[in-house]
Structure 1
């Protein structure tokens, strides 16, 4: 794909649904603005117009605002946040309770002649890759899901010992027993997930309609000098890791992208995930997460 204003720049994209019924991720390319959004629905899993989840509406609502491309990115982010609140109110959501709120992560860039304007919220990622192969993650943030994934790993070791050590299926009882144990473990995560969700725009930021979301916006402008690639993606493009880390390490991801390209990176991730369908080896929330990703090559 080419951007008319920048004929020498090549753009690759991926927008792919994961294991869930709906793709709550969203992707935009509008002239010189490019962005990805990762929606998350309320904890009550309520559906709305045309059976859409709140996460789907939130990501699409935010993306539609950014596509207008007529203000600085921080102003567009604030407008997107307000638009999410307006959508929740119009759909009768009780916004006084955090667990009812829809939200979306966002990573958006605007290409200029010699620089890159950017804004980020939540766990969406922007990485600059330089001509010498080095890279820089624009927001070095703690993973707000680290505690939850660490608890999941502990539950696997306790209830299905040996299941998380190899890519083979666990040899712990029959398949029905295994699934019952897995369901039990996931039930034990519910309180932890509720705890993390209650920290929105207190311990970490997302666009969810709350005014405090504006305080958690990360933004800046970077020179494009020596930049060879820009990667913008949601966490569905993360390489599965056996041990959760407080901060994600993107070295393997960058190396794989440079060797195989964006599509090759995605296929490698999906292949690893398929070998661990119950998330027992590499803790995560579902076998395949939604992916929205953009690779810009200069």
Structure 2
């Protein structure tokens, strides 16, 4: 099995993504840290999102073979709660919680086991280039509200990303309170109910030529929010061109639209982490 992996910082202060490559155990994961709305940094300058991503990474790297992936994410969620409590974070307030989205796979001889939470995605690509999403973009229905406000701001004449972001901030804060709640989205944030929002499953490997795991920074932007994700536009170029060349092309596109006016998004460039497994 050939493995391609990369992780690069976006336009923020630090890279809040992480990844897991356990080739001996055939376990692979991408992790996207989510910082609290209440600013926090430890003595090393790490944000809550970066701490959460590294914690989930370590938990998965220590995963015993007999533990299922969904149980592994539940255990990581408990460890995250303990870490926040040790740092005197008020875990009763959602705006103060550190969080992490995650997509993880375990590749067996005949089957692929997977688990996911948040907006990380897993795709199976078949020999005929059929792209099969194994997971759902859990935040899509909530982000749509903020993107609609963003587009309205552009139509009203706003021309800078900070102006547009301020226009959407109330909606973004409201969305954060939907974490691990009915009608909301799943995320690892130490909340005891987070385990109930983990998606998981198993599929066979027949005719699968590649698995692609991505954090949301590697999704190809859409020209406007009314268009549903066309995953083929993201996944097939990655498989055909390679992860590095695809990322270079994506960065060129993002740099051509620094104020996020043509392609609606909250940052010029988000952290980008991806793993491609080319199955033999």
TM-score (norm 1): 0.87
How large is the Cα RMSD of the aligned pairs? 1.4
Runs of 4+ off more than 6 Å: none
Q: 1:94 aligns with which of 90, 93, 96?
A: 90
Q: 1:89 to 1:297 in 2, by over 3 A?
A: same
In structure 1, distance between residues paired with 2:111 and 2:224: 36
Q: Which residue of 1 aligns with 2:136?
A: 140
In structure 2, distance between residues paired with 1:227 and 1:109: 14
Deviations 1:233-263 (Å, cap 9, x if unpaired)?
A: 1001011111115752202112322331211
In structure 1, distance between residues paired with 2:229 and 2:68: 29
Q: Which residue of 2 aligns with 1:59?
A: 53
Q: CA deviation at 1:149?
A: 1.7
Moved more, 36-45 or 135-144: 135-144
How many residue pairs were aligned?
271
Q: 1:274 aligns with which of 251, 255, 261?
A: 255
SS in 2 for 1:145: helix
Matches within 5 A, 1:73-222: 73-142=69-138, 143=140, 144-160=142-158, 179=160, 182-202=161-181, 203-222=184-203
2:4 is equivalent to residue 12 of structure 1 = yes
Q: CA deviation at 1:105?
A: 0.3
In structure 1, distance between residues paired with 2:178 and 2:227: 16
In structure 2, distance between residues paired with 1:82 and 1:258: 35
TM-score (norm 2): 0.93
Contact 1:33–1:69, Cα closer than 8 Å, also in 2: no
Contact 2:99–2:187, Cα closer than 8 Å, also in 1: yes
Contact 2:105–2:115, Cα closer than 8 Å, also in 1: yes
SS in 1 for 2:262: coil
SS in 2 for 1:189: helix
In structure 2, distance between residues paired with 1:255 and 1:76: 30
2:48 is equivalent to residue 48 of structure 1 = no
Q: Which residue of 2 aligns with 1:23?
A: 15
Contact 2:122–2:213, Cα closer than 8 Å, also in 1: yes
Contact 1:127–1:138, Cα closer than 8 Å, also in 2: yes
Moved more, 200-209 or 133-142: 133-142
Q: Which residue of 1 aligns with 2:269?
A: 288
In structure 2, distance between residues paired with 1:155 and 1:282: 14
In structure 2, distance between residues paired with 1:269 and 1:24: 19
SS in 1 for 2:209: strand
Q: CA deviation at 1:212?
A: 1.2
Gapped runs of 5+ residues in structure 1? Answer: 1-8, 161-177
Matches within 5 A, 1:220-239: 220-239=201-220
In structure 2, distance between residues paired with 1:79 and 1:85: 10
Contact 2:121–2:137, Cα closer than 8 Å, also in 1: no
Q: CA deviation at 1:159?
A: 2.1
SS in 1 for 2:31: strand
